[in-house]
Amino acid sequence: MRISKGIFVQITLAISLFLLIFILFNNLYVNLINKQIGFTFNWLLRPAGFALSESSLNYSPSNSYAWALFVGWINSLKIILSSLIFSTLLGIIVGLFSKSKNKLLRKFSSIYVGLIRQIPLLVQLMFWYFVVFLGFNNSNNDHYSHFFSVSNKGINILNLNLTTEFSALLFGLSVFTGAYIAEVIRGGINSVPSGQWEAFKSVGLSEIQGVFYIIIPQSLPAIIPGLTSQYLNLAKNSTLAIAVGYADIYAISDTVINQTGRAIEGFLILLLSFLFLNLIITYAMEFLNRFVIANQNRRIR
């Protein structure tokens, strides 16, 4: 009896939730029709008619809006993945610094984390773009320029050319997220009982060996959930790209919405593309988490 009651409540709740969503959507749809705006996605196939400053795929203004949005999504993916890698490296290094015996390194780590977390990300991005990168000279005539050069046209490494916008965004996002990741790493390391440090020292492992073979593997279960939410934040923060002129999905849909007047459909596409992106990150991290836990269980056995 008790069980069936519970199921009844759940079904009612589910039905009313669906009903609510349906009513709200129907309301929107009917009102859009009434205002003669309508709800369609036909415009996606029309030619976009605007150029993009950078695209990893073949793109010209005569391609469709849909293709322009996809190119923007790929651009978003590009900046998110690369700053994810850099911010993780930076976070691990700074997080380990905070546990170091060296006072200078500890001080550096706490100043970096304190400073970065107090300045809004938008301000930091503007700083990297307008002050740092656009402040560089325009000259390319020093003798290192074949391998590596930085100018106000961006960064050149061998044949790889990163635009100013991409570089500024990469630095801004990595430095910002790195500070948060450093704190996650520090928290994870703190969660390992101090006896473990004494234990690895007593078996004759060096500091570095001990940290990498004993401490980090044990702190991973505490680190990964925090890391996941930092990665999700990073993905969402990447939409600030529009402030420094990088053509990410948000910047492109901004133009698309303005040209077509299709705000609701445009935002729906934007929401779904971010949902998709963040689900990828969540599942990848979930997979990593399971792998780590399974690995640890095996080791304990």
Partner 1 sequence: MKRLFNSIITLALLTLSGCATTTPRNESRLDIISRRNSLVCGISGKIPGFSFLDSNGQYSGLDVDICKAFAAAFIGDSSKVEYRPLTAAERFTALRTGEIDVLSRNTTFNLSRDSIGGNGLSFGPVVFHDGQGVMVSKKSGINSLYDLASKSICVGSGTTTEQNINDALESLSIPYTPIKYQDLNQVVSGYRQGRCQAMTSDRSQLAAARSSFPDSTDHVILDETLSKEPLSPASVGGDQKLSDAVRWVIYALISAEEKGITKDNIKMKLQLAKDNPQLKPLRRFLGVEGDLGKKIGLSNDFVFKVISSTGNYGEIYNKNLGSNSNVPIPRGLNKLYKKGGIQISPPFN
Rounded Cα–Cα distance for residues 11 and 203 (Å): 59
- Read off the DSSP letter of residue 63: S
Give the N- to C-terminal CA distance of the chain in Å, as an integer. Answer: 43
Site for partner 1 in 224-253 (CB under 8 A): 242-245, 247, 251
Rounded Cα–Cα distance for residues 153 and 137 (Å): 9
Which residue has tokens 């529009």? 242
Is the alpha carbon torsion for 128, 121, 274, 256 positive or negative?
negative
Q: Nearer to partner 1 by C-beta: 126 or 285?
A: 126
Q: Nearer to partner 1 by C-beta: 174 or 255?
A: 255
- Least separation in angstroms between CB 255 and partner 1: 5
Alpha-carbon distances, residue 205 vs 29, 45, 57, 103, 117 (angstroms):
67, 63, 50, 22, 35
Please report whether residue 20 would count as binding partner 1 according to CB under 8 A. Answer: yes
Q: Provide the mask over 65-84, with x wherever binding to partner 1 is found by CB under 8 A and - wherever it is not.
A: --------------------
Q: Nearer to partner 1 by C-beta: 190 or 258?
A: 258
Q: Nearer to partner 1 by C-beta: 17 or 199?
A: 17
Task: Identify the residue among 92, 93, 205, 257 touching partner 1 (CB under 8 A).
Answer: 257
Q: Nearer to partner 1 by C-beta: 218 or 259?
A: 259
Listed ranges 20-28, 115-123, 177-185, 221-229: which one lies at the site for partner 1 (CB under 8 A): 20-28
Q: Nearer to partner 1 by C-beta: 233 or 260?
A: 260
Burial of 54 (0-12, 13-18, 19+ CB in 10 A): middle
137 — alpha (psi -120 to 50), left (phi > 0) or beta? beta
Distant-in-sequence, close-in-space partners of 237: CB < 8 Å, separation ≥ 6: 121, 173, 176, 177
Site for partner 1 in 22-51 (CB under 8 A): 23-24, 27, 31, 34-37, 49-51
Please report whether residue 58 would count as binding partner 1 according to CB under 8 A. Answer: no
Residues engaged in binding partner 1 (CB under 8 A): 9, 12-13, 16, 19-20, 23-24, 27, 31, 34-37, 49-53, 61, 130, 134-135, 138, 152, 164-165, 242-245, 247, 251, 254-255, 257-261, 263
